[in-house]
Amino acid sequence: MKQNMIRLVAIEIDNVKNVKHGRLELAKSKKGSILGIYGQNGSGKTVVVDCMVLLKCLFGGKKIPSNFYYYINSQSEMAHVKYCFEVDTDLGKSYVEYEVELLKNGEFSFCISKEKLSVRENVEGKTTRLTPVFDYQRGEKELFHPKKFYRYYENKIESMVALGIAQQATENFNEEKQRTEVSSFLFSKKAQDVFAKAEDDVAKIFRFSSILQNYGIYDLAVIENEYYALLALNLDMIPVNIGWSDSVRSRISGIMLRLTDINVVAKEIYPYVANTIKQINIVMQALIPEIQLEIYNAFDKLMENGKDGIQFEIITLRGGARIPLLYESAGIKKLISICSNLVACYNRESYCLVVDELDSGIYEYLLGECLEAMQEKAKGQLIFTSHNLRPLEILENEFLIYTTVNPENRYIKSAYIKNTQNTRLSYLRSVKLGGQKEKLYNETNIYEIELAMRRAGRVGINDR
């Protein structure tokens, strides 16, 4: 049986933070699939990462973080994101679009006002039109469209009740936290259970939504910069990619490991964790040869739920000396934390790794070496933001997107730059002299900076 393959090909963003409109397209290349996003501070780079966090929550049927209320542009009541995919299954290749709208519906609260899944199939060599298979509009009489799919359920009382409950649960009020918790209608467990039983054309809803759901849970990793800020302070855990077997995968969607503290995992999971540490060691040996990870002092422990578990700690070995990971640098901990995800991205076609500020804490030459390897042979997709310009000397032009100062057109590919040119120098020249379709940088002046420093230093002097 052919394994499903799914690839993100484009993202369209409207009214998210300071991005009024922007579209990003991932290059189709015989080499790896990378998208490096560059631009000045506050120009919309992290918005892309935020939108991928949103996507992972939606596809996984998880609650959307409440702070997404503040991600809706302050001058707008609604934010809209469209994600475009290419899907390849036993039944052929398809193009799939998933759209979601977040609407402010009260003081500090929001809801999903629209959720739409559209499909264009390739049937017997012929391409169909892009057609909605699920279209939810909040407040409409019918729970969803198209009508012919909705009518299939009208006389199925149990199914209609379950779908009604699923829709209401997308805006569940948490009494303890005194706020509404928002989640997807389409990807909720109750809705998926109903759609899984459909037949004929209506089965398309589950066929495509279940593929997207598996992608969001198992093949999409989003690593925000806050993970590393907390990791540097030894305050948090990090997500690692683990190659679950099919029997375990159906019950476990992921795992968080404490790199700087004691871990306790179920006994059946421990071998997978041990294999992941082996994976990380292989990569770390190529990146920083003198460092190796070790699982330290693993022993049986009864878990809180009464099941058998294994307790262990992760340490590093340097020249034979054992060092708690707690005392390693933030850069080392960052490399260790993303290694398993890089391995998955390098080896799995459907895997998409999104990293905010990939360059943070990593030696720039090493960063370039890693990206060159990913560009040449990676099977999956890597999306990252960065401030370090070293990758511009490594990546081909088709793998780079730049933010602009125009909120109505936030993301552009560079014009008039060939792969034979030094992209870093060409970018710096464009920042200083222009020449692109949109302005890339709000101009600063060294003399104005010096004057501002002097003036700021005088504030409060006469009050002493």
Look up the CATH architecture of domain 225-355+357-395: 3-Layer(aba) Sandwich (3.40)
Q: Give the span between the Cα atoms of 429 and 195, in whole angstroms.
A: 54
Angle at 210 between CA 205 and CA 212, to 5 degrees: 105
**pLDDT in the model for residue 58:** 95
**pLDDT in the model for residue 192:** 95
**pLDDT in the model for residue 340:** 82
pTM over the 0.75 mark: yes
Parallel, antiparallel, or unpaired: how do β-strands 321-324 and 381-385 relate?
unpaired
Listed as ranges, residues in the chain with pLDDT below 50 are 230-236
For 360, how many CA atoms within 13 A lie in the half-sphere containing its CB? 20
Q: Please give the structure tokens belonging to residue 273.
A: 């964790």
The residues facing 417 across adjacent strands are none
Q: Give the span between the Cα atoms of 354 and 447, in whole angstroms.
A: 38
Q: Give the span between the Cα atoms of 120 and 96, in whole angstroms.
A: 6
- Taking only the tens place, the pLDDT of each residue in 2-25 is 688 999 999 999 999 999 999 999
Q: Report the Cα 363 to chain-centroid distance in Å.
A: 24
**pLDDT in the model for residue 232:** 47
**pLDDT in the model for residue 234:** 46
- Provide CB contacts within 8 A for 241, sequence distance 6+: 221, 276, 340, 341, 343, 344, 351
- Taking only the tens place, the pLDDT of each residue in 106-121 is 888 899 999 999 999 9
**pLDDT in the model for residue 238:** 59
Handedness of CA 280, 281, 285, 288 (dihedral sign): positive
Other beta carbons within 10 Å of 422: 12
> Which residue in the block uniquely carries the two structure tokens 């996003």?
37
Angle at 442 between CA 456 and CA 73, to 5 degrees: 95
**pLDDT in the model for residue 235:** 42
Segments making up each domain of the chain, as ranges? 5-220, 225-355+357-395
**First-to-final CA distance of the chain:** 78
**pLDDT in the model for residue 438:** 74
